[in-house]
Amino acid sequence: MAAHLRRHPGAGVSYVARVTAADSPVPADAAPTGRIVLLTTTHRVAPGLLSWPAWQALHGADRVLSGDPDHPQLPYLREAGVEVEPGSPAARELVDYCVAGGGRTAVVLTSAEGESELTDGLARLAGSGREAMPDLELLPGSYDLPGARLLDLVQVMDRIRAECPWSGTRTNEELVKYGIEEAYELVEAIEEGDREALLEELGDVLLQVVFHARIAQDDPEDPFSIDDVAGGIVDKLIHRHPHVFGDEAAETAEDVRRHWLRTKAAEKQRDSVTEGVPLGQPALALTAKLAFRARMAALDVALPDGAGVGYELLALAVRAEADGVDPEAALRAAARAYRDAIRAAEGSAGR
């Protein structure tokens, strides 16, 4: 008799049983063989917040079991009137219970590590083709939403801050150089089109944000947390995108940019378009940013008089920005070509 493995509709199934079905069809007049439900949950969702199908399965089950005596869902299930048996049953016992009982339903509340011994046993029984098998179902009682792994990152950073002798004593000032390095490594990954490196470097930059916020949380006078950081940027994004979250319209990317700058200027109440431009950034990027601010403000600014390479580079950077070229990226591309030429010359000289 075939074993039917059903995966309940829904995303984020965190646990997959290795169950194979026999090829023989199920006779139309076969007696009910019952149902085994492997109920999965995620620690990233508050315990007790289960899907309606999960609550239906739990309340309708003839037997609910959990091999984890400390499973976070247990207090909430008991409060809801669901009796949970301790212990992990063997596959043979569970199959016999469902089949011999004329179609009983058993729900197994899986642990964080899963129930590999049980599912391996069920796979062997189902794969033999000689067993009357209950329906086997993977049912997500709760599953991760997009961004759920960020909660793991926050928890890991909390522990590292508390237990690591190096990380536990760092200051925001001491991490500045690492943030700059990671930002440049991210730029390099993007410019080289390396997707694997991009994934890694985005994580490294994200770590810097979470690390800085965790340090700030320990400040005795003016603490803030990663939630404050996230909340602030969410409010800013909503406020600066009224064409998405409000009633205003933006037909082109340029419309969006103009509105962004207008809203930003009103928020900051700056006396000059140059305010907020960090002078510590690379010189070409700094020049391009200043030129962009002046162009957006429709200012007719004459380049300062001066002789030397610096003023020549200034004129080139302003011209590049006006032409829609990022001078910093353009020079990096040229520098990489120069690097390759140097390597080629080294190879020729070594022959």
Q: Tens digit of pLDDT for each residue in 127-168?
A: 888 888 999 999 999 988 899 999 999 999 999 999 999 999
Nearest Cα to 20, choosing from 136, 98, 165?
136
> Strand 63-66 and strand 105-109: pairing?
parallel
Is CATH 3.40.50.620 the classification given to domain 17-140? no
**pLDDT value at position 101?**
77
**pLDDT value at position 16?**
34
* Tokens matching residue 183: 């930002």
Task: Show the beta-strand stretches assigned E in 80-164.
Answer: 85-86, 105-109, 135-140
**pLDDT value at position 6?**
46
CATH code 3.40.1010.10 region(s) in the chain? 17-140
What is the phi-psi region of residue 10: left when phi exceeds 0, alpha when psi lies from -120 to 50, beta otherwise?
A: left
Percent of the chain with pLDDT over 70: 91
Mean pLDDT lowest among 16-30, 98-112, 120-134, 226-240: 16-30
Question: Are the beta carbons of 122 and 4 closer than 8 angstroms?
Answer: no
**pLDDT value at position 263?**
78
Quote the CA–CA distance of 212 and 157 in Å, as a whole number: 10
Confidence of residue 19 (pLDDT cuts 50, 70, 90): very low
Residue 43 has a CB neighbour count (10 Å cut-off) of 15
**pLDDT value at position 114?**
81
pLDDT tens digits, residue range 31-49?
788 999 999 999 888 999 9
The answer, yes or no, to whether residue 209 has pLDDT greater than 50, is yes
* Tokens matching residue 101: 């009982």
Percent of the chain with pLDDT over 90: 65
Confidence of residue 267 (pLDDT cuts 50, 70, 90): confident
Mean pLDDT lowest among 92-106, 221-235, 248-262, 294-308: 248-262
Nearest Cα to 335, choosing from 280, 284, 277?
284
Confidence of residue 27 (pLDDT cuts 50, 70, 90): low
